[in-house]
Structures are given as structure tokens and as C-alpha cells.
Structure 1
Amino acid sequence: MNKTELNSLTLEESKVYMMNIGEKGYRGEQLFQYFNKHLNLNLNELKQLPKETRNKLKEVGKVNEIEILERFDSKIDSTKKYLYLLDDKNIVESVLMEYKHGFTTCISTQVGCKMGCTFCASTKNGFIRDLTPAEMLNQIYMMEKDNNIKINNIVLMGSGEPLDNYDNTLKFINIIHEEKGHNISLRNITLSSCGVVPKIYDLAKENLPITLSISLHSPFDAKRAKIMPIAKRYSINELMNACKFYGDSTNRRLTFEYTLIEDENDGEKEAIELAKLLKNINAHINLIPLNSIKEFSKDRPDKKSIEKFKDSLEKKGLRVTIRREMGSDISASCGQLRRSYLENKLQ
């Protein structure tokens, strides 16, 4: 019999669950807050519940726990990279970054990734499974406890495609936002997708005031398909239509992630086409100089070329930033640390 994962339940689900096992509904709120407000996982220490209730929960349910396998601290800034060991011995990673406005974390939503982007380390060992809401939440809660901090901003941009794990990702957002739990503002959550078009329409209908970030990387179908296999399924025109629908439906600005690859997507023709694509979309472009991996032979452009591309886009009326690189000495880009750890383990 599959046991219910208690710390993957929303507040309402927790109340219903308690009533279904013969307890009062308010006990569900106590259980929910124990996990998501007080950041505890040991049911034996939940003294608000009678001992017989705790024993019943342990019999019919389970608590998903992850452990910190390794933590890597950058020597050039305050970035920290975490490798987590899941209960089935799989490994995921997260990053904790400190800015003037507070702490931001980038977490994983899947073990591995099936999207196959050529320059991304997350996908090189293939897709293993989706993460549960509790496994996403625990990445955040363990960082907070480990550093005695409160995280202000959450980015779903680690290993995996959040929209490919749609239901669990939405449930995670519901739980982390719940006022009686962790109470993170939806406006402080960014969901990054490589462009799963049908799910962008679904997400638009949820009308959540989160930030949707789209990995674009080229304004041309053929070139984009070379580095992002999902582009063979959904054309840029289909993707832009979905993005326009999302922006119009939610009245939210979209971010477009654009990884700059030397002599591949950093020319004037790309800048011209990007301006055409985004002219009717409330958009912000985030330029990301390529983080090289050994399986991808291309390089990042030099600093002068990056600034030239940014200036060209701005002259065409686009809003552009260059992502500040953090934790470069600890492989802080998604998938790099997990991949190097697995490779070293197999040697």
C-alpha cells in the first residue's frame, strides 16, 4: 500500500486527510504548520497531537525527508551550492544566493531532465523522475535551517522542467505561498520553462502572479532546434503566441532567458529578429553568458561582444540585463555539480 506523503499535502488536503482518518480537521492545520511554518519533520516531536494520533499518522502516512549530502561555499561571493540525497538515493541540487535585497534560491523540480538542451548539464544523465512537492519544499527549508535565514525569492530553474512536472509544481507553489505556512509572496516566485506550449496556456488560466521565464536562446527555429530539442515540437511562432496569451491573461511581464553562445546566436540578425518577436509582448530579456560544459564545444562571447549585443537590443526598444554570474568556482549553474559528483563517484 502506498502511504500518503504528509508533507506534500496542501493546507486543505491536510484538514481533509485528518478527517478521513477519524481526527478533527483543525489537526490538519497543526500538521501543515509543523512542516511548513516550523520546518520540523519528526512526527514524534509534534506534541500538539496526541500520541495515538501521531502513531496513526506514522502507520498510514509518511514524511518525505532529504538530507544534505554536501555543501559547497563559494570563495568569491556568498553563494552556496547544495547537493541533496533523496530517500531513494537519487541526488538533486540547489543554489543559495545572497543579494542586497535578501536571499534567493534556485531549486530543482526533477531528478535529471528529459528536455535535452545541448549546453545544459542537467540533462546529460537523462531523466529519472519527478520531484514531489515535499522534495521541492525541503530544498528550501533545509537551506533556511542550515543558514538560519528566511529566503525571500524562489526560482524554479534548477534541474528539470517545471511544466513537465506540472501538478507537483503547482502544489508546491500553493503550499509555499500559504499564509498559514511559509507565506512566500507569489510575486517572489519565478518559474523557468524551455517552452512547453500547452502547459503555458494551462498556467495562464491559473492566473497566478508569478513570473514566467522562457528559455529562448535563439529567435530562429532551425538554430533553436539545434540546441533545444523542444523547438522541434513547438515552433517559435507557437511559443510566442502562448507567451502573448500568458502576458495578456495575467497582465504580467515575461522574462526571456537568452544564453549567449559565441558566433552562434550573438549577432545583429538575432537582435533584429528578437525585436520583431517581442514587439507585442511585455518582455524583459535576461542575457546569460554561456557556462561551458565539456559535452558542448562552443564558447561564451567575450565581454565586449556581450555588451555590444545588449546595446543593440536596447536600441531596438527592448529591456535587457546581463545576468550577474555567481558561484562560478563551485559549478553554480544548474546540473553541473550533480553531474561532476556522479562522474567522480563512478570513477
Structure 2
Amino acid sequence: MSANTPITQDVLTIPRKQPEGGKANLVGLTRDALHAALIAAGTPDKQAKMRAGQVWQWLYQKGVRSFDLMSNLSKDYRALLEEHFIIEVPEVVTKQVSEDGTRKYLVQIAGGHEVEIVYIPEESRGTLCVSSQVGCTLTCSFCHTGTQKLVRNLTAAEIIGQVMVARDDLGEWPELGKPNPPEARLLSNIVLMGMGEPLYNFENVRDAMKIAMDPEGISLSRRRITLSTSGVVPEIARTAEEIGCLLAISFHATTDEVRDKLVPINKRWNLQALLDALRAYPKASNSERITFEYVMLKGVNDSDEDAHRLMELIKGIPAKINLIPFNEWPGAPYERSSNNRIRAFADIVHNAGYASPVRKPRGEDIMAACGQLKSATERARKSRKQIEADAGLGK
């Protein structure tokens, strides 16, 4: 299979529900698609490029949700837009705020399904963890989201809509008629590390991130967007070519035997195939290192031997290693490595010349930490015994 061959799954991407009259949602359309939609609705060809630019700025620069507020458009044209289109983003069902300031949103999308979004405030930046699917197909045994069955892919509107919802809550859109100074930006980074495998929903993720990066809208640098994959090897090169963002890999093990249990996609593309793809990654450089995510599981993948083996495996790849203390969830079949064990592992990585930050768990009190996301209505009621059996850990 070539790097440019799209991965196909028996997973539907269902468009946002449309109200009576069949109005189309403008949110999530690429610039070209928006241009075409405006022409189809009756915009003269000669005006379409200008109108598309104006509507784009109202949607993504100013966060406007009503055509009536688009003041540089004539009343007649606003009426035309109202007749043919809607502006719709996911609906917030609940918001929880952690003691450390982390915010977790449960949002509802078409079909009554729910996904979770997490905003993590830090001193120098604010990171939004975005979901790409309802549920997940990968069944990684250490991940709470992985115990939820995959329902469907999110549309581009539902993905970029998560960013818009968070900006709503943060009060980050500028006042009409006033520019938003750079220091007012609370949401400065996006990580595609929420529910789902982004590379199994490539086109919608790509289109949503192109909107996020557009300089006339949300305007995030591609270096402020990180896509995390468990290792969908044929789509890795496309990520560099068609999105251009930073890449993170859910690595988590140093042998195929262990990774087959922790990250079952390894049975399809093993460590050798994954590492070959990463060595060829077009964007990999000292300034754009690949992040290896490594969850620390007591007695499973946290030995000194694992650390040394990891250093051998990634040799030659510009990389940093994010060590993630396991975030426990009800029924989890694993335990978090001790602080001393994590420090010893980190020292080996650091002494080999790699950055080895230990990720500080955020939002644990509201189940918003890495690997804990799982929407309430899709929760699969599994016992610890069932989860261990699924993970291949049964006695």
C-alpha cells in the first residue's frame, strides 16, 4: 500500500443534521467548498471570492453565529445567506472545571452522540485536546476511550466546531470592530489527542486543521498543532504533505509482543514498519521533532531494559520522549509506575541525549487526563475481568 493510498474503514461520516428546508452548515467547509456553495446559492461568480472571504472572516476571525451581524454584507445578501445556510457548532451538554483549571466539555453532535474536549491552561500557552471520532476503533488496553466502541467519524464541522466552542467559553473572540491583541489568545495550541484515531478520519481532520491554520481566521501556526497517531503507517507521510503539523506517536512499548497488547494496531503495522515511516517523515528535523508518547505502566513497559531498548529503536529520528504517568480509570487493568521508576527511566532517556519531560497529569479529578476521555452516553459497562480479557492479560 503506498503512502498516498487512503485508509478505508467501514465507518460512516454522517453530515450534521439539517433543519427543515435542507440548509447547509457553513462551518467546516474549506475555502473552495464555501466559494462553490455561495455560487450555488445565487452569489454572482464575480463576487463569490470576495463574499467567501468576508463570510470566512466573520465565522473564524470574529466567531459570529448570526448572519444579521455580518455588517459589511448588504441586507439582501444576508437574507440570501439566511435562506440557504446555517452556522452550527456542537452543543455543550456539560462543562467541568478541574482544581488545576483544566476544562472538560461534553458536547453533543448529530445523532445525539457525545464527544469530549479538554482545554489545558498553562503559564505560557493554552492547549485544546480535540476529538476526531465518536469512540475509537483501536481498543488500546490502557486507554479508557479505547473501551468505547467506534460509532462514526466526526465531520470537519464537528472537529473545527470544538475549537469554536472552546473559544466561546474562553471569551476569546474579539469584540466586533476591535482587533484581538496577541496576548488575549488563551487557546494557542491544538492537539489531536482526544477521542479517536485522527488518521482513520484523515480528510475531515485535514480540512478542519486547514481552517484552524488559515491566517484570515483562527490563525494558528502549523507548529502549534500536533496530531497524535497510534501508527496508521500509510497515512503518516500524507500528514506532513497535506496538513504540515507536528507529529506525535502513541508508542508505549519497545517490543512487538508488548505493543500488540497495549496498542493492537501494531499487529497490522509493527514497530519496524512504524519506525521506517517515521525515519522517512518529511517534516522530521531538529526543529520539528517527532514526539514519542510513552505511558508508564508498572511492571509492563517501565524497566531500565525498556528504556535502553527505546533509545536503540529511535536512533536517527529527531525526537523527544513524553513520559506519561498512567492516568487510572475505573476498571483499568494497569497501575501507574512509581515516581522513582519514572525518574530512573527518564534519566536513561535524558543521558542518551533526548528530551524526556514527564507529563504532569492534568484534570484527573474530572477524568480529563490523557487516556481518560469517554463520553457518558456511549460508556460500555465492562468489568475489570472483561477489560483484562480484552487486553490479553487474563490468567
- TM (norm. structure 1) is 0.91
Shift of 1:55: 4.4
Where does residue 156 of structure 2 map in the other structure? 133
Give the alignment partner of residue 329 of structure 2, picking from 293, 296, 299.
293
The aligned residue for residue 281 of structure 2 is 246
Deviations 1:13-54 (A, max 9, x none): 322332333312111112211211111223344344444444
Q: Whole-Å Cα distance in 2 between the matches of residues 293 and 226 of structure 1? A: 18
In 2, Cα distance between the equivalents of 1:45 and 1:197?
45
Alignment of 1:122-271 (within 5 A): 122-149=145-172, 150=185, 151-206=187-242, 208=244, 210-247=245-282, 252-271=288-307
Structure 1 residues 198 and 81 mapped into 2: Cα distance closer, same or farther (>3 Å)? same
Does the CA-based 8 Å contact 1:113-1:123 persist in structure 2? Answer: yes
Kept in 2, the 8 Å contact 1:244–1:280? The answer is yes
Once the two structures are TM-superposed, the CA of residue 203 in structure 1 deviates from its matched residue by 1.8
Pairing partner for 2:346 from 310, 329, 342: 310
Give secondary structure in 1 for the equivalent of 2:27: helix
Return 21-30 or 244-253, whichever deviates more: 244-253
Contact 2:197-2:230 at 8 Å conserved across structures: yes
- Contact kept in structure 2, 1:115 and 1:230, CA below 8 Å: yes
Contact 1:247/1:254 (<8 A) preserved? no
Which structure is richer in relative contact order (CA contacts within 8 A, separation 6 or more)?
A: 2
Query: Aligned to 1:326, what secondary structure does the other structure show?
Result: coil
Distance 1:317 1:136 in 2: 36
Shift of 1:73: 0.8
| Deviates most, 50-59 or 66-75 | 50-59
Q: Partner of 1:31: helix, strand, or coil? A: helix
CA-CA distance at 1:60 after TM superposition: 4.0
Residue type matched to 1:307 in 2?
Answer: R
Report deviation, 1:56.
3.9
- CA separation of 1:41/1:172 partners in 2, compared to 1, >3 Å: closer, same or farther? same
Query: For residues 3 and 163 of structure 1, do their structure 2 counterparts lie closer, same or farther at Cα, with a shift above 3 Å needed?
Result: farther
1:19 — aligned with what? 39
Q: Deviations over 1:98-134 (max 9, x none)?
A: 1111211111111111111111111222111111222
Is 2:57 the partner of 1:33?
yes
More strand by share: 1
Identity %: 34
Distance 2:373 2:284 in 1: 37
Q: Letter of the aligned partner of 1:181 in structure 2? A: G
* Cα distance in 2, alignment partners of residues 129 and 272 from structure 1: 39
Listed as ranges, the gaps of 5+ residues in structure 2 are: 1-20, 173-184, 382-395
Over aligned residues, Cα RMSD in angstroms?
Answer: 2.3
Q: What corresponds to 1:46 in structure 2?
A: 70
Give the drift of 1:287: 0.4
Q: What secondary structure does 1:127 align onto?
A: coil
TM-score scaled by length of structure 2: 0.81
Which residue of 61, 75, 91 maps to 2:114?
A: 91
SS, match of residue 167 in structure 1: helix
Deviates further, 18-27 or 319-328: 18-27
How has the CA–CA distance of structure 1 residues 248 and 84 changed in structure 2, closer, same or farther, with 3 Å as cutoff? Answer: closer
Contact 2:148 2:379 (C-alpha < 8 Å) held by counterparts: no
What is the rounded CA distance, in whole Å, between the counterparts of 2:293 and 2:284 in structure 1? 21
SS of 1:88 mapped into structure 2: helix
Shift in Å at residue 247 of structure 1? 5.0
Query: Which structure 1 segments of 5+ residues have no match?
Result: none
Q: What is the CA–CA distance in structure 2 between the aligned matches of 1:211 and 1:317, rounded to whole Å?
A: 21
Report if aligned partners of 1:201, 1:242 keep a CA contact under 8 Å in 2: yes
Deviations 1:175-206 (A, max 9, x none): 11111111111111111110100000222333
Supply the distance in 1 between the matched residues of 2:270 and 2:79 (Cα, whole angstroms): 53
